[in-house]
Amino acid sequence: MADPVFILGGYQSDFARCYAREGLDYSDLMVEAVRGALADADLDASEIGAVHVGNAMGELYNGQAHMGPIVAQVVPELRGVPTMRHEGACASSSLAILAASSAIQAGWYDCALVLGVEQERVLPGIEAAQVQNSAGWLDREGFDCNLMWAAVFGRMAQEYGERYGLDRRHLNRIAEINYANAKDNPRAQTRFWQFAEGAFSEDDELNPVVEPGTRRSDCTHITDGACALVLASSRFAREHLKKTGRRAGDIARIRGWGHRGAGIRFLDKLEASRGEPYIMPHVRQTITDAWRRAGIPGIEAVSGIETHDCFTTTEYMAIDHFGITAPGQSWQAVEEGWIERNGRIPVNSSGGLIGIGHPIGATGARMTLDAARQVTNRAGAYQVPGAKIYQTLNIGGSCATVVSLVLDTVE
């Protein structure tokens, strides 16, 4: 990337909060995240050239479309600033980051605000989960189930089992690691949760089957949350550093990116990958595209990963697709402790979606903020020691929309 984009600051709401119980809604999440990000960046709202909102399901959860202008409605200082909304299921705010970055690189404006937001805890749990079925191909996915995504990623687990063999103990361990990591994250939904002995096992009472191939501990949660980032051109970033007295190493750089898509129907993607080493070849291509654009040789240059673990299966997939192990051998990284915070290549030191929570439209921005915190040594208790280069992997639907970013700093 000839002219990289910089992250001047960001903010994540507390994913443990239920905003409806407090008499608040998605607009309150927006205000909190926007003002928090501007404060963290030490920036005035008048310096924002555009606002990009990632939101997946506002119509279904809140009855609200046209989310972009709401930002200017509730943060009056942004009135007159162009706003736009991006939807890509769970990758919505990663798409917002890509759109804002490309406009900055094109010279349309020098500084942009990206906001990911989703308020999901406005419906009973089962209804809230079923709303998310809209990220698949409704009535055409081919699953007879109550919870489609649990069924889809349970089918991914079965596919790994059929192609390579799969020991469910490794999926259980992924969940256990992520919940443990989340206890060190002051914004994680599950940081205070306690688990009975056997909660990460094949015990049908303590860890019941949700859909074939998926148990309760494999699943992420219904979450309210927002995350905002301030992005800037290299020129704007240099001037801002001079004005604020910050060092270059205090802000993260988006060094490379990958973005690929595939058809929406999950079973078709599995069929298309028959005979391939990777179950989702386009996910692997997204990751390697990000390496190529970042000018790094591969996973050996990466200090850690924030990856999409809407279910433990997607993290299991990410491990081999990142090349941490050979295809189908993700179990080795789990068993050897390579993905733990002090391991060879830490994965989801923050707690991941399972530990932090998964407000769909906010997840891509949250991953990016956590990666930025890691490379600027601002991750606190979940800091990976010596982190220099961090990578994200964010997926929408059944890997239908895939985005990966590589972040570092410039000293």
For 362-390, the pLDDT digits (tens) are 999 999 999 999 999 999 999 999 999 99
Q: Give the chain's length.
A: 411
Give the pLDDT confidence of 305-350 residue by residue, as tens digits.
999 999 999 999 999 999 999 999 999 999 999 999 999 999 999 9
Q: Do the domain assignments include residue 193?
A: no
The predicted model scores a pTM of 0.98
Residues 97 and 114 sit within 8 Å (Cβ to Cβ): yes
Helices (H), 42-144: 58-62, 68-74, 92-105, 125-131
Q: Do the domain assignments include residue 179?
A: no
Report the alpha-carbon distance of residue 282 to residue 304 in Å, rounded. Answer: 21
Q: Do the domain assignments include residue 371?
A: no
Residues 115 and 225 sit within 8 Å (Cβ to Cβ): no
Domain count, the chain: 1
User: Between β-strands 252-261 and 5-12, what pairing exists: parallel, antiparallel or unpaired?
Assistant: antiparallel
We report the CATH number of the domain holding residue 16 as: 3.40.47.10
Q: Supply the range of the domain harboring residue 233.
A: 5-124+223-244
Q: Do the domain assignments include residue 107?
A: yes
Give the pLDDT confidence of 71-117 residue by residue, as tens digits.
999 999 999 999 999 999 999 999 999 999 999 999 999 999 999 99
Taking each helix axis from N to C end, the angle separating 148-163 and 312-321, rounded to the nearest 10 degrees, works out to 40
Q: Do the domain assignments include residue 155?
A: no
Query: What mean pLDDT is reported for the chain?
Result: 97
User: Between β-strands 111-119 and 224-232, what pairing exists: parallel, antiparallel or unpaired?
Assistant: antiparallel
- Tracing tokens 């004005």 back to the chain, one arrives at 243
Q: Do the domain assignments include residue 236?
A: yes
Reduce the secondary structure of 258-299 to three states and give it as a string.
Answer: EEEECCCCHHHHHHHCCCCCCCCHHHHHHHHHHHHHHCCCCH
Q: Do the domain assignments include residue 33?
A: yes
Rama region for 328: left / alpha / beta (φ>0; ψ in -120 to 50; rest): left
Q: Do the domain assignments include residue 353?
A: no
Residue 3 has a pLDDT of 86
